Amino acid sequence: MREAVGIDLLEHRGRRAVLTEAGAALLAEVTPLIEDLVRVERRGRGIARGDAVRIRLLVDTLFPKERLFAALGRIAKLYPHAEVHLVETVRLTVQDLPAESFDLAILVIEPGAADVDRIADIRLVAVASATHPLSAHTRPPTRAALAKYPFVEIRGYDAADGKQTRQGRCWRMSTVESAIDAVRHGLCYGWLPLHLIEADLQTGSMHPLRLQRGGARHVPLGLYRNEAPPSDDAATLALARLLAIQPEESL
């Protein structure tokens, strides 16, 4: 090694051989390379055993982030060499996607769909900011009263359906956070995920709207596996099990 680099890497101090300053500097540089080689070797052995090279995961934006990140964190420890490619979707169903676009997907369940692993039921409640005029209503607001104000929807933009509903009163937000912020600022009302606005309701910064009907909506989310070809490697199956765990269950 000394002949290859042309400098002394070790020096003798008594009976011990210790790194020289140059040797320590070179060791610091090559250590990450050695670690990368070890990682590649381990990953190669895993692939030879049938582990996934990558897992393409689609997740609806309404799915609770605590559950998602808990599952991903566990998978990273159990299968550190499996690469998870995560893409967030907005209110898509399995019919909206080509089968080859994912290995696992958490999507909105279509009405009447059978044989779907239902893993979450997201409750949306109609709310407005405490400063919004609708929050001052002591009686259920009429449809005419609701039509005076914009409402927000959590939905992606569909190029085939670019028309706004209700004469432009609908605000489409592609992220839950944007929809919640719009309501918090008193700019609109909307149906928001209860698990994300509980603190706002408790502090009184948001008020539930007293609608005659439709004050709460439910969005069922299902776990789908790519069946062509089936995603049956150990890492993908483990991630599917972890994503399906309900909040009261333990990881």
Write the pLDDT tens digit of every residue in 43-96: 555 555 555 578 999 999 999 999 999 999 999 999 988 899 999 999 999 999
- Which helix (DSSP H) or strand (DSSP E) does residue 146 occupy? helix 143-146
- Give the tens place of pLDDT for each residue, 157-183: 664 455 555 444 899 999 999 999 999
Across residues 30-45, what is the average pLDDT? 63
Looking at residue 20, its pLDDT comes to: 77
Looking at residue 223, its pLDDT comes to: 97
The yes-or-no verdict on residue 120 having pLDDT over 80 is yes
Domains along the chain with CATH numbers: 9-48 (no CATH), 54-120+221-244 (3.40.190.10), 122-219 (3.40.190.290)
pTM, rounded to two decimals: 0.75
The pLDDT mean for the chain works out to: 84
- Which helix (DSSP H) or strand (DSSP E) does residue 173 occupy? strand 170-173
- Give the tens place of pLDDT for each residue, 196-245: 999 999 999 999 999 999 999 999 999 999 876 555 688 999 999 999 99
Say if CB 200 and CB 194 are below 8 A apart: no
Cα of first residue to Cα of last residue in the chain, in angstroms, is: 48
Which of left, alpha, beta for 12 (phi over 0: left; psi -120 to 50: alpha)? Answer: beta
